[in-house]
Amino acid sequence: MNAAQVVETLKQRFPNEPEYIQAVSQVLPTIEEEYNKHPEFEAANLIERLCIPDRIIQFRVSWVDDKGKVQTNMGYRVQHNNVIGPYKGGIRFHASVNLGILKFLAFEQTFKNSLTTLPMGGAKGGSDFSPRGKSANEVMRFCQAFMTELYRHVGADEDVPAGDIGVGGREVGYMFGMYKKLTHQFTGMLTGKGREFGGSLIRPEATGYGNVYFLCEMLKTRGIELKGKKVLISGAGNVAQYTAEKVLQLGGIPMTMSDSDGYIYDPDGIDREKLDFIMELKNIQRGRIKEYADEYPTAKYVPGKKPWFETGCEIALPSATQNEINEEAAKALVANGVIAVSEGANMPCTPDAIKVFQDAQILYAPGKAANAGGVSVSGLEMSQNSGRLSWSAEEVDNKLHWIMENIHENCVKYGTEENGYINYVKGANVAGFMKVAKAMMAQGIV
């Protein structure tokens, strides 16, 4: 395999999907050396088969708003690869959603799920519908209309969606209710469900908790503790909230949070009381992060910006969306003394930003490794549903901690360079790829 040639071919075939091309171009060069040790992979044209999704489903979603007007959105499901288990990946409701973004997310999900050690393939779905500014009834009607088409393509042993940006417990509940009505079945075909109807304890917390667990494993390689460290966090949704919660529990100090309008910086740190305010603001009131500065006047609110240029912090945990840290922001983070960056979001750092981190030899963890905690506990939820079981929060959290330690161990195994620096990007990509590749070879050309 010549990684550059493969990327160029895909770029010509899919010229209007920059996020997908970016994801592929970040993975293929890191696995090229390992891939070329296995001539049987090339004989089976494995790399092209791995890059192109098994199946893409696109459909129209028509729904009626509170004023009685018919609205139309696009719905998608990209089923990328199911060679090691049923398709598994979130559903995203956001105005930015398009096919290229979902293809990149599904591609990344395939390797992330492989890393978890659990039997799950990779998929992603969603719609350009945004719940922001919509009433609960409008969100319910949209979710029901969306599932009216999607239900044909998902199921507990076929494809198990979950939440993502714009899709929390409320939206999952509405979709699950409609699936159950349409199929007359009560199965674990969605994860992130309410605790009352098959959801797992620790699932809402899992992505944020898992990212911090992975961060701690990275810090251990240099004999550093999280306790006392000041932390930059982006986002104010599920991932960011529970990232901040676990940072607090382990003695770190969250300094920032953000949403699409801007960010807040609290010089006194975001403590438990302040985090509770943010959780109520975002989860119940569905307000904007700028209201934090109104409640706590010592904090500043910076509209239209991201928090990466703030000084005096040692750790950055991007937990919002893709490409939120560019080369300029990465250089600022390094210059300001940040020692570790761990991705809570999917591909929040551009390729140029990643190069800055790696050239500076700071600890950097890609999302497919660091934020795999969410899908890991989704996999544990699937196991509980299949066995009609319910595990304690402590049991699930212990399993999550073990999974993140195992992922870190595999990243170290495949990513340690001659000078001792751990290239977590290479380690995660090679570890995830090899499991999928071997399964594809075993199952033949299908």
What backbone torsions phi and psi does residue 261 show, to the nearest 5 degrees? Answer: -90, -25
Q: Give me the mean pLDDT over the 93-110 stretch.
A: 95
pLDDT at 347 (0 to 100): 85
User: Looking at the predicted structure, is the pLDDT value of residue 346 above 90?
Assistant: no
- Residues 77 and 154 occupy one common structural domain: yes
- Residues 212 and 333 occupy one common structural domain: yes
Q: Could you list the residue range(s) of the whole structural domain that residue 58 is in? A: 53-186
Alpha carbons 361 and 341: distance in angstroms, whole number: 11
Residues facing residue 91 across a β-bridge: 125
Alpha carbons 292 and 285: distance in angstroms, whole number: 13
Alpha carbons 236 and 175: distance in angstroms, whole number: 24
330 in any annotated domain:
yes
- Residues 225 and 114 occupy one common structural domain: no
CA-based nearest residue to 257, from 216, 217, 301: 301
Mean pLDDT computed over every residue of the chain: 96
Of 152, 186, 220, the residue at which a domain comes to its end is 186
- Angle, helix 327-335 to helix 351-359, in steps of 10 degrees: 20
Q: What is the pLDDT of residues 302-325, one digit of tens each?
A: 999 999 999 999 999 999 988 999
- Residues 226 and 122 occupy one common structural domain: no
User: Looking at the predicted structure, is the pLDDT value of residue 16 above 90?
Assistant: yes
Sign of CA dihedral 53, 55, 60, 63: negative
Which helix (H) or strand (E) element contains residue 341? strand 340-342
CA-based nearest residue to 160, from 397, 346, 385: 385
Amino acid sitting at position 155: G
Of 339, 370, 401, the residue at which a domain comes to its end is 370
Could you please report the per-residue DSSP string of 278-321?
HHHHHHTS---THHHHHHSTTSEEEET--GGG-SS-SEEE--S-
Residue 265 pLDDT level (bands cut at 50, 70, 90): very high
- Residues 111 and 38 occupy one common structural domain: no
380 in any annotated domain:
no
pLDDT at 396 (0 to 100): 96
402 in any annotated domain:
no
- Residues 217 and 358 occupy one common structural domain: yes
Active site residue ranges: 124
Which helix (H) or strand (E) element contains residue 265? strand 262-265
Residue 295 pLDDT level (bands cut at 50, 70, 90): very high
Give whole-number Cα distances, 321 to 31, 275, 303, 346, in Å.
25, 20, 17, 6
- Residues 257 and 169 occupy one common structural domain: no
424 in any annotated domain:
no
387 in any annotated domain:
no
Residue 217 pLDDT level (bands cut at 50, 70, 90): very high
Of 335, 370, 405, the residue at which a domain comes to its end is 370
pTM of the model: 0.87
Measured in whole angstroms, the distance separating CA 375 from the mean position of its chain's CA atoms is 8
Number of folded domains that form the chain: 3
User: Looking at the predicted structure, is the pLDDT value of residue 430 above 90?
Assistant: yes
276 in any annotated domain:
yes
Q: List CB contacts of 444: < 8 A, sequence separation 6 or more.
A: none
Measured in whole angstroms, the distance separating CA 75 from the mean position of its chain's CA atoms is 19
